[in-house]
Structure 1
Amino acid sequence: MQLTGLPGMCHAVVGENGAGKSTLMKILSGVVRPDRGRIVKDGEDLKLHHPLDARHAGISTIFQEFSLLPNLSVAENLFLGREGDIGHAMTRAELAQRSEQALSELELNIAPDRRVGSLGVGQQQMVEITKGVLADASVFIFDEPTAALASHEVDVLFALIERLKDEGKTIFYVSHRLAEIFTLCDDITIMKDGEFVRCVPTALTNEDEVIEGMVGRPIAELFEARAASIGPVLLEAKGYQGQAMKRPVDLTVGTGEIVGVAGLEAQGQQELMRALAGFDQRRGGSLTLQGKDISDIEARKRIAAGIGLVPESRKDDGLFLSLDIADNMQSAQVARGGLFALTPSLGELTRDIMTRLAVKAPDARTPVSDLSGGNQQKVVLGRWLLAGAHVLLCEEPTRGVDIGAKREIYRQLRAFAQQGNGILVTSRELTELIGLCDRLLVIRDGGIVSDVPAEGATEDSLLRAALPTSLDGGQTEAA
């Protein structure tokens, strides 16, 4: 494997989950030791036995999985372990001043004294990026930096990378979002199954060629065909409002239907999904599942009734990282019946679902922490396939997932719907919602402002509905 980074250039590294991208970046970051070969920087061989070695060599890495300590403040996280670089122990006043300066340079409106654990996923990612940029480095590695970012945060990040290029920094950029790569990067290295496929200047290739290099075959269609017809209503909310929701909502999900929720960042998507899942007490309205009122039952009983939640942050909310694949997949069955309830042997079903979802692991007893992000997401999805859920609430179902794994997840979501079930899904990627869904809801300031067929919808029309207007006073007519 050969990878070359040049000053003032942004070099993309792409491949499916399990292709070896993260391992390669961890080698360059001093997290993993190479079995053979050399790492050369400025003509000198580097021996990276520890992340500190990489940092001292001028290599700064912003990983996809956060290295932040949630119980500490933003300022404390930014400068934790950097006292040696600064040359003295900082006072609280100096810590606050330096943090404010670092955050303001990235146009981030985040209070330095705010506890990191209280921030949203997107804000935590921006703090992680700020922490990485604070290093006096000549090489920067960005590993899926936009997976949790809103559009305006992505713009800030792109401006930062262009600034680093202008300063002569070398940048390695790992992302599954090919549109970003063709916007930012000068060269693209493609990996597959741990091996180098090819390196090509971005200007001399296109997305189809890159995808074919990643998966080893052309991908004619990413999404499955939409539902030919929609059956009776499965899930219906009438004036339903959780305690954390700004406004009541009316919505339905039909049998065989995938319904998308589109909108700008932090418009109430997560509050809506968590309220429907039963993690937020009802303030008003009603919620029915298959005609039965579930308005006031708790989350565990909603699971038993047939509602499953695929949360945005699989690491924090979706997985038991200390357990293996089988235990994670079977956990919903425990939640349905209670801790001491008897459950049938699910080994064969678990293995069957692993095969259906193409989970890359030796067996069902593989620790889920050993899996790539895409395979971890498949385990979360597999939990609800195993539990026999009727309605899936999916938050960002393909966050941090490669193109091949996305295709498999889309296929399984459509198959789940075709079996007489329904799905409500949120995503920051409008193209994903348009391609995946049968119908689209647009949420703005906590209210549903548009309800349109996905067939014929465009990013432009969805953004127009999502943007606030001078007449915005609540839910409006369907666009």
Structure 2
Amino acid sequence: MTAVPLVSMTSISKAFGSSLALRDVSFELLPGTVHALMGENGAGKSTLMKILAGVVRPDAGTILRNGVPVQMNSPREALDAGVSTVFQELSLLPNLTIAENMFLGREPLTPSGRIDNAAMARATRETLKQLDLDLDPGRLVGGLTIAERQFVEIARGITANADVVILDEPTAALNAADVEILNRHIRALKSQGKAIVYISHRMEEIFRLCDVVSVLKDGRNVATVPVASVSPQELIAMMVGRDIAELFPPRGDGAKSAVALSLDGIRLTADSPPVRLDVHQGEIVALAGLEGQGQRELIRSIIGQYQPVAGTVEVKGRRIALPIAPASGVRRMQALGVGFVPEDRKDEGLFLDLSVAHNIAIGLNSRHSALSIARRYRDIIQDAIKSMAIKVSRPSAPVGSLSGGNQQKALLGRYLALGSDILLVEEPTRGVDIGAKAEMYKLLRDFANRGGAVLVLSRETIELIGLCDRLYVVHGRSIVAEMPAAGASEHAILEAALQR
């Protein structure tokens, strides 16, 4: 006997003004399955899930819950109907504690009617313990790392006692060990007969974890198939019409040119060995290896956001002793032609409420004193938007209204407009779709082909192998191997990291 779907969405359509986001889409969730939802940004995934989560109301179509018609008029109604959502854009409130965020809107009460803070703390501690997370429930969310915030968000979602759990890019900020913890809990939910919607741009996660995949393109459902029946190449072709081999542009010719950036004698801690690396003009160099081995600290030492014990950085022949003062590091490096693209573009890179034009021009204005009259740089901004292929209706549109990929391009465009010739890039494609990844890879390669130098780190080893010219393998806050990317493999990188 065929199981009754936990959720059936039939002929769902939704327009925003003249833009049709969803066109007659049907989507079904069976109990005990992990259902992948894939497609480029703008394909309609978020709109479809926001309708199921009660955030957006459809213009047409029906939703059945256990075969009974329902209307999700609010997130509260969706949660009451057994649908819990963890969106990619974190919804935690930074000025509240972990426990307060976990129980927001469903706080337990004492017999006298007061919020039972002790009960919230106990339940939160137990939930976090189940996720192998050792955090104080009374700690403010604003003081957590991105990965810790992501796990708290996930914990809140999967412990809401819902039958349907929507996970939107849940692993974007997690390392390999954390991903395995999350996967273990997803499998546990599946064994309990729950349905999990899994939205991710990482192919290996889809094929390791999911049972069924639906692909949206241009607001339509182009296919729903068992994951075991398709290949990664076929999935990408459904989404964007091209093969996975076409994601990465050709590498440079390998000819050595002048050194643009050098790190020499950097010791991240008192007991760590000194680190030395070079990045030449015209090449993209990766800091690879297991998560949390010092890659991030090395990059941030250059701009003063991490304070190493000793060492120097040399930028185009100019030698600077480390550490660099945190308050002036980013601007000091900008003056030398070094741009820094942080992993957390929303909190550290962009001013979401300001326009695309303002976000690009901020770097240009920073070259002048605080009392100088702000300049408009209209032509430079227009050139940056055009050359970066930023999809925006007008330069005055808030940068926060753009997709993740276009936000990332706007942040990168700030430094290209500034004339930077060295880029430090953390997680260049975090939370962006396959098509936007290909565009970002091309932009970085074009930058290098014009003589720029790029130092990059990423949790996706395949990304580093495909994008870069050389790889430094980092382990234990030290460089343990160097290899050309053209002949590298995930196995070789892991082997190098573990044989120190």
Query: Aligning the two structures, in what range does the TM-score lie when normalised by the shorter sequence?
Result: over 0.9
Match of 1:400 in 2: 431
**Among 122, 125, 130, which residue is 1:100 paired with?**
125
Report Cα offsets for 1:334-382 as digits up to 9, x if no partner. 2233434467643233233323333222122221111111111111111
Match of 1:339 in 2: 370
Match of 1:355 in 2: 386
Match of 1:135 in 2: 160
Q: Aligned with 2:486: secondary structure?
A: coil
CA distance in 2, matches of 1:240, 1:125: 31
Match of 2:466 in 1: 435
Q: Aligned with 1:394: secondary structure?
A: strand
Q: Aligned with 2:436: secondary structure?
A: helix
Of 75-84 and 129-138, the range deviating more from structure 2: 75-84
CA distance in 1, matches of 2:68, 2:87: 25
**Among 314, 326, 350, which residue is 2:357 paired with?**
326
Which of the pair is proportionally richer in strand?
Answer: 2
Match of 2:139 in 1: 114
Match of 1:259 in 2: 285
**Among 83, 99, 103, which residue is 1:75 paired with?**
99
Report Cα offsets for 1:85-110 as digits up to 9, x if no partner. 99975544322221121112222233
CA distance in 2, matches of 1:86, 1:6: 38
Match of 2:452 in 1: 421
Report Cα offsets for 1:136-156 as digits up to 9, x if no partner. 101110000011110011111
**Among 48, 51, 55, which residue is 2:72 paired with?**
48
| Residues 243, 283 of structure 1: 8 Å contact kept | yes
Q: Aligned with 2:366: secondary structure?
A: helix
**Structure 1 residues 86 and 319: alpha-carbon distance in aligned structure 2, compared to 1, 3 A threshold:** farther
CA distance in 2, matches of 1:335, 1:160: 47
**Structure 1 residues 282 and 173: alpha-carbon distance in aligned structure 2, compared to 1, 3 A threshold:** closer
**Structure 1 residues 247 and 335: alpha-carbon distance in aligned structure 2, compared to 1, 3 A threshold:** farther
**Structure 1 residues 92 and 210: alpha-carbon distance in aligned structure 2, compared to 1, 3 A threshold:** same
**Among 13, 31, 44, which residue is 1:7 paired with?**
31
**Among 377, 390, 397, which residue is 2:421 paired with?**
390
**Among 248, 251, 256, which residue is 1:230 paired with?**
256
Report Cα offsets for 1:296-349 as digits up to 9, x if no partner. 563212111111111001111111011111111111112233434467643233
| Residues 190, 214 of structure 1: 8 Å contact kept | yes
**Structure 1 residues 174 and 85: alpha-carbon distance in aligned structure 2, compared to 1, 3 A threshold:** farther
Of 114-123 and 413-422, the range deviating more from structure 2: 114-123
| Residues 333, 343 of structure 1: 8 Å contact kept | no
CA distance in 2, matches of 1:403, 1:178: 10
**Structure 1 residues 282 and 123: alpha-carbon distance in aligned structure 2, compared to 1, 3 A threshold:** closer
Match of 1:476 in 2: none
Structure 2 unmatched ranges of 5 or more: 1-24
CA distance in 1, matches of 2:386, 2:269: 40
Name the amino acid aligned to 2:314.
T
Residue 266 (structure 1) shift = 2.0
TM-score (normalised: structure 1): 0.92
Match of 1:37 in 2: 61
| Residues 277, 308 of structure 1: 8 Å contact kept | no
CA distance in 2, matches of 1:55, 1:89: 23
Computed over aligned residues only, the root mean square deviation of the Cα atoms, in angstroms, reads 2.2
1:26 aligns with 2:45: no
CA distance in 1, matches of 2:214, 2:99: 36
CA distance in 1, matches of 2:418, 2:225: 45
| Residues 108, 115 of structure 2: 8 Å contact kept | no
Name the amino acid aligned to 2:423.
L
Match of 1:207 in 2: 232
CA distance in 2, matches of 1:42, 1:11: 17
Name the amino acid aligned to 1:28.
L
CA distance in 1, matches of 2:159, 2:369: 48
| Residues 244, 271 of structure 1: 8 Å contact kept | no
Name the amino acid aligned to 2:420.
A
TM-score (normalised: structure 2): 0.89
Of 235-244 and 380-389, the range deviating more from structure 2: 235-244
1:156 aligns with 2:187: no
| Residues 109, 116 of structure 2: 8 Å contact kept | no
Residue 259 (structure 1) shift = 0.7
CA distance in 2, matches of 1:220, 1:263: 23
Residue 248 (structure 1) shift = 4.2
CA distance in 2, matches of 1:345, 1:133: 47
CA distance in 2, matches of 1:71, 1:243: 32
Of 449-458 and 249-258, the range deviating more from structure 2: 449-458
| Residues 108, 120 of structure 2: 8 Å contact kept | no
CA distance in 2, matches of 1:85, 1:10: 35
Residue 46 (structure 1) shift = 2.1
Name the amino acid aligned to 1:457.
A
CA distance in 2, matches of 1:316, 1:245: 32
CA distance in 1, matches of 2:437, 2:115: 46
Of 50-59 and 278-287, the range deviating more from structure 2: 278-287
Q: How does 1:459-470 map to 2 (within 5 A)?
A: 459-467=490-498
Equivalent pairs counted in the alignment come to 469
Report Cα offsets for 1:444-466 as digits up to 9, x if no partner. 22222222221211111211233
Residue 406 (structure 1) shift = 0.5
CA distance in 2, matches of 1:409, 1:60: 32
**Structure 1 residues 344 and 83: alpha-carbon distance in aligned structure 2, compared to 1, 3 A threshold:** closer
Name the amino acid aligned to 2:426.
E
Name the amino acid aligned to 2:473.
V
| Residues 337, 419 of structure 2: 8 Å contact kept | yes
Name the amino acid aligned to 1:226.
R
CA distance in 2, matches of 1:219, 1:339: 47
**Structure 1 residues 85 and 201: alpha-carbon distance in aligned structure 2, compared to 1, 3 A threshold:** farther
Report Cα offsets for 1:363-404 as digits up to 9, x if no partner. 222211111111111111111111111110000000011111
Name the amino acid aligned to 2:51.
I
